[in-house]
Structure 1
Amino acid sequence: MLKKIFNAFLDNPFLASIVISDLFLLLFHNPPFIFSIAMFAILIAYCMFLGQKLALFKI
């Protein structure tokens, strides 16, 4: 499962770098409230993109 996630990061380096820098800013920088909501929305959208692309839990 982790191998699939790491491969997805390597397949989309631009999106992965945006998400990693976004997560770093949210955790350690404490940006303004409105900006942090927008960045959190970007993180949620990327997580939904990865969930749809990887389909880790197929039945």
Structure 2
Amino acid sequence: MFKKIINGFIDQPLLTSLFVTDFLILLFHKPPFLFSLAMLGALIAMCLYFGQKLALFKV
């Protein structure tokens, strides 16, 4: 499963870099409130996209 996640990140380099940058900015800096809400929304959207793309738990 870990190999599938890493391969999914490698296949999408632009989204991966945006995801990591967004996460680190929200984690280590204190952006303005509205900007942080927009960044959090983008982070959630990327998480949903990667979750759908990887489909780790198939039923």
Shorter-chain TM band: over 0.9
* Pairs aligned (count): 59
Cα distance per residue 1:2-34 (max 9 Å; x no partner): 111111110010110011010010000110000
For residues 11-50 of structure 1, the aligned pairs below 5 Å read 11-50=11-50
Gaps of 5+ in 1: none
Gaps of 5+ in 2: none
Percent identity between the two aligned chains: 58
Q: CA RMSD in A?
A: 0.7
Q: TM-score, normalised by structure 1?
A: 0.94
Which residue in the other structure is 1:56 paired with? 56
The letter for the 1-side match of 2:33 is F
Structure 1: which 4+ aligned runs deviate by more than 4 Å? Answer: none
* Offset at residue 35 of structure 1 (A): 0.4
Q: Distance in 2 between matches of 1:51 and 1:24?
A: 19
Q: Distance in 1 between matches of 2:18 and 2:11?
A: 14
